[in-house]
Amino acid sequence: MAEVSLSSSGTELTLQGIRKEFPGFVAVDNLDLTIRAGEFFALLGPSGCGKTTTLRMIAGLEDPSAGKILLGGVDITDTKAYKRPVNTVFQSYALFPHLTIFENVAFGLRRRKVSNAKELALAALDLVQLAHVADRRPAQLSGGQQQRVALARAIVNRPALLLLDEPLGALDLKLRREMQVELKKIQADVGLTFLHVTHDQEEAMTMADTVAVMNNGHIEQMGAPESMYDLPETAFVADFLGQSNVFRGMASSANASTIEVAIPGGTTLRVPVARASAHSGDVSVGVRPEKMSIHAGAVAPQTDTNVISGGRVTDVSFTGVSSQYSIDFGPLGNVVVFEQNLKALPTVDLGDVVSVSWKVERGFGLRDHRAAVIDEASEL
C-alpha cells in the first residue's frame, strides 16, 4: 500500500424484523441480525434462500416490505442506495465497460468529490496488486483481475459496511482459494465490516468470524464456524455445513447430563444434554463422519460410546489420507464414515457386515429431522 491509508474502523449493522415479499412468495421472513463493527460475517445458504435479497436490501437496491435497517445505530431503511455508506462487490463485478480500470476504481470517490481521489484510487489498485493495468479497460482483464478491480472499487470508498455478493463464484477453484486468503487479509488490513454472501460452506467457514446459515428466508443458526460445525442445531445446518449422519428418534429418558434416544431397530443412542437443541419428544442424533469408527462384526455397547450394528458396507473409496465408507443400515438409512488410513490396510471390505461407534460426547442432538436441501452448486 502506498502512503495513503484505506483503513477504517467499520460500523455495526443491525437488521430488525426485516421482511421482503415478492409477488407470490416471501423471500426474507422476519430477519433479525446484528453484525459487529469490523467483523467478517458470512451469510450462507442455498440459492433462493433469501441471502442475496437480504444483501440487496442492506445496499438499498431493494426496499424491505417491513422492518428496519440500522447502520451504526442510524436508521437507513429509507435512505437511498447512493446515500448509504455501504458498497457492494457484485457477483457479476458490474465493472463499467466504458471506463478504464482507474476510472472504475475512482468512480465512487469522484461522485463524492473526494479531493485526493487519484491517490486513493491508486492506493486501492496497489492493494489488489493491479496498479499496472490502471489504463486498461475491464474487457482486457481476466476474471480474477476483474474480481479484484471490483473489490478495489468498493473498498476505496472506505464504506462503513462492505457487501460481498458471491464475489468468488465465477472463479475457478484454485483462484477462489487464493482469493479467499487475500480477501481475509485485506479485511484484516483495512478493518472494514464485511458481509459476505455465499453458498459455498467451505468459503464461509474459511473466511468468516461469524456464519449465519439461512434457509427459506430465515436464519437457521448463527455462530462461529467451529462451534456451528461442532454443534449444529438443525438437520439443515448439520447437512449444509459439512456432512452429517442423522438418526431420527424419540427421547426415551433423560437425566441431568444425558438424553437417551430410541431409534428404529431397537438401538438406544445417548447424547449429552448440553449438546442437544431438543430434550424431549422428537430428537435426532447426529454425528460427523470423521468422528465415527468402523468395526468388523458386532461390538458390545459401552456407556460412553454409541454403537449401531448390522450394517453392510456398500462403498469404499480410498482418498489417500483417509477412506470413505458407505454403510447401509436398512431402516436407519445410509451412514458415511471417514477413517484415517493409520493402518496399513483398509479395516473392512465391500460387503462386510460392520458396526459403527462414536463417543457420546462427539454426537449432537437436533430439534428436527427434515430432509436437508443441499444446493448442488455448493458441491463444486
Partner 1 sequence: MAFAAFADTSEKKSAEPVKKSRVVILMLLPGLAYLLLFFLAPLVSLILTSFMAPDPNSMDMGQFVYSFQWQNYVTVISENWSFFVRSFGFAILATVIALIVSYPIAYFIGVYARPWPAIQAFALILVIAPFFISFLLRTLAWKQLLGDDGWVVTTLKSASLLPADGHITGTAFSVVFGLTYNFIPFMVLPIYTSLERLDMRLLEAGRDLYASPSTTFWKVTLPLSMPGVVAGTLLTFIPASGDFVNASSSFLGGPGTQMVGNQIASNFLKILDYPAASVLSVVLMAVIMVIVSVYVRRAGTEELL
Residues that bind partner 1 (CB under 8 A): 59-61, 80-83, 86-88, 90, 92, 94-98, 107-108, 111-112, 128-130, 132-133, 136-137, 140-142, 144-145, 148, 153, 157, 175, 178-179, 181-182
Min separation Cβ 270 and partner 1, Å: 46
Q: Which is nearer to partner 1, 171 or 356 (CB)?
A: 171
**What gap in Å lies between CA 185 and CA 246, rounded to an integer?**
36
Give the list of residues 6+ apart from residue 131 with CB closer than 8 angstroms, or none.
122, 125
Q: Which is nearer to partner 1, 83 or 343 (CB)?
A: 83
Q: Which is nearer to partner 1, 166 or 368 (CB)?
A: 166
What sign results for the dihedral spanned by CA atoms 196, 199, 203, 208?
positive
Q: Which is nearer to partner 1, 71 or 179 (CB)?
A: 179
Give the list of residues 6+ apart from residue 346 with CB closer than 8 angstroms, or none.
316, 318, 323
Min separation Cβ 176 and partner 1, Å: 11
Residue with cell 463444486: 380
Min separation Cβ 35 and partner 1, Å: 18
Number of other CB atoms surrounding residue 83 within 10 Å = 9
Q: Which is nearer to partner 1, 179 or 294 (CB)?
A: 179
Min separation Cβ 23 and partner 1, Å: 12
Q: Which is nearer to partner 1, 145 or 267 (CB)?
A: 145
The sheet carrying 25-35 orders its strands as 25-35, 13-22, 66-71, 74-75
Min separation Cβ 13 and partner 1, Å: 16
Min separation Cβ 60 and partner 1, Å: 7
**What gap in Å lies between CA 276 and CA 288, rounded to an integer?**
15
**What gap in Å lies between CA 350 and CA 279, rounded to an integer?**
37
